């Protein structure tokens, strides 16, 4: 699957030196083959977030997301996520996040994410 996204940021200070807000919209594009043949799957999500810089190259973040339902005009609650990002070298961050599915989100539970972000 592929997940192209667009993120808009507002930073209280230059170079992420203090705190900021962000909004992200993305769409997962994937497919599967069933007995009826190939099927294309498109999902959309929207995320609102807040970050606080703790020191050089270290940030805490808090975000909440919504996912598009199958019904037209319907959005379901997603997850509340807390995370910590640490810069390893210039332009490369280690990210770690814990997400809690909210009641009514369809798939409540706990999720973990660990990965790398490369900034160009």
> Residue 79: how many CB atoms within 10 A of its CB?
23
pLDDT > 90: percent of the chain: 43
- Under 8 Å CB-to-CB from 103, ≥6 apart: which residues? 77
Instruction: Place 105 in a pLDDT band, splitting at 50, 70 and 90.
Output: low
Instruction: Read off the tokens for 28.
Output: 């997962």
pLDDT at 102 over 70: yes
Q: 56 is in which domain, residue-wise? A: 5-118
Residue 68 phi/psi, 5° resolution?
A: -70, 135
As a residue count, the chain comes to: 120
Of 28 and 112, which is predicted with more confidence?
A: 112
User: Which three-class secondary structure state does DSSP give residue 46?
Assistant: strand
Q: What is the pLDDT of residue 64?
A: 94
Yes or no: say if 45 and 20 are a contact pair by the CB < 8 Å rule. Answer: no
Q: Are 57 and 23 in contact (CB under 8 A)?
A: no
Domain count, the chain: 1
User: Tell me: the pLDDT tens digits for 47-98?
Assistant: 999 999 999 889 999 999 888 776 677 777 788 999 999 999 988 999 999 9
CA atoms within 13 Å, Cβ hemisphere of 58: 3
């Amino acid at each position: 699957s592929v997940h192209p996204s667009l993120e808009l940021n507002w930073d209280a200070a230059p170079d992420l030196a203090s705190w900021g807000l962000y909004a992200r919209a993305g769409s997962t594009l994937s497919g599967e083959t069933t007995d009826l043949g190939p099927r294309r799957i498109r999902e959309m999500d929207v995320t609102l977030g807040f970050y606080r810089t703790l020191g050089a190259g270290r940030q805490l973040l808090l975000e909440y997301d919504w996912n598009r339902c199958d019904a037209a005009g319907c959005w379901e609650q997603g997850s509340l996520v807390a995370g910590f990002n640490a810069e390893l070298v210039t332009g490369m961050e280690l990210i770690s996040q814990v997400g809690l599915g909210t009641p009514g989100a369809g798939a409540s539970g706990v999720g973990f994410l660990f990965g790398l972000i490369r900034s160009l």
